[in-house]
């Protein structure tokens, strides 16, 4: 599965202003709702429940908030490039400036796990992290993700 099929320019926010983890989850929920996928409150509830189980901060200034959502038609990715890094309870203590959120249909557990592992694999690559953080616009982000998947 090509990750670029799961997000569009409308699901990327560059220079995103956010004050907290809770605010990031609210922004993701609002975006998912505005993209016509699902109810904002349901998304927030599921993302918040997942964070209570343990932080989705990945380390190296990255978080991958994710959840399976009832009645969600298709998996979707939302990318936030934060203007100012925020505390996300990361095990390495680093503040987070890059958020790649995955929302998947509740009945698609295998798909959820496969996409999540692809995202984690990309973000584990220092060169990829450097490239994605240096992107000047949304098209460049899509291009960097596309190029990585071809390697």
Domains in the chain (CATH in brackets) are: 3-150 (3.40.930.10)
- Of 18, 19, 120, 13, nearest to 66 by C-alpha is 120
**Given the DSSP bridges, would you call strands 62-63 and 76-86 parallel, antiparallel or unpaired?**
unpaired
Q: Which pTM does this prediction carry? A: 0.94
User: Helix or strand or coil: residue 94?
Assistant: coil
At residue 148, the pLDDT reads 85
Backbone CA torsion sign across 77, 59, 82, 86:
positive
Catalytic residue from among 27, 32, 58, 66: 66
CA distances in angstroms from 22 to 55, 64, 123, listed in the order given? 12, 14, 22
Tell me the per-residue pLDDT of 71-89, one tens digit each, with 9 for 90 and over: 888 999 999 999 999 999 9
pLDDT in tens, the chain (151 residues): 789 899 999 999 999 999 999 999 999 999 999 886 689 999 999 999 999 999 999 899 999 999 999 888 899 999 999 999 999 999 999 999 999 999 999 988 888 999 999 999 999 999 999 999 999 999 999 999 998 876 5
**Catalytic residue status for 66:** yes
């Amino acid at each position: 599965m090509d990750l670029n099929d799961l997000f569009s320019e409308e699901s990327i926010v560059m220079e995103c202003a956010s004050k907290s983890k809770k605010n990031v989850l609210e922004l993701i929920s609002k975006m998912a709702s505005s993209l016509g996928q699902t109810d904002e409150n349901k998304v927030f509830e599921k993302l918040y429940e997942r964070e209570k189980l343990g932080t989705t901060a990945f380390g190296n200034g990255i978080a991958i908030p994710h959840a399976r959502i009832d009645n969600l038609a298709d998996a979707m990715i939302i990318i936030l490039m934060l203007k100012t890094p925020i505390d996300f309870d990361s095990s390495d203590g680093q503040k987070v400036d890059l958020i790649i959120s995955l929302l998947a249909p509740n009945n698609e557990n295998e798909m959820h796990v496969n996409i999540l592992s692809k995202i984690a694999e990309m973000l584990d690559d220092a060169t990829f992290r450097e490239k994605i953080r240096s992107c000047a616009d949304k098209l460049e982000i899509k291009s960097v993700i596309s190029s990585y998947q071809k390697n």
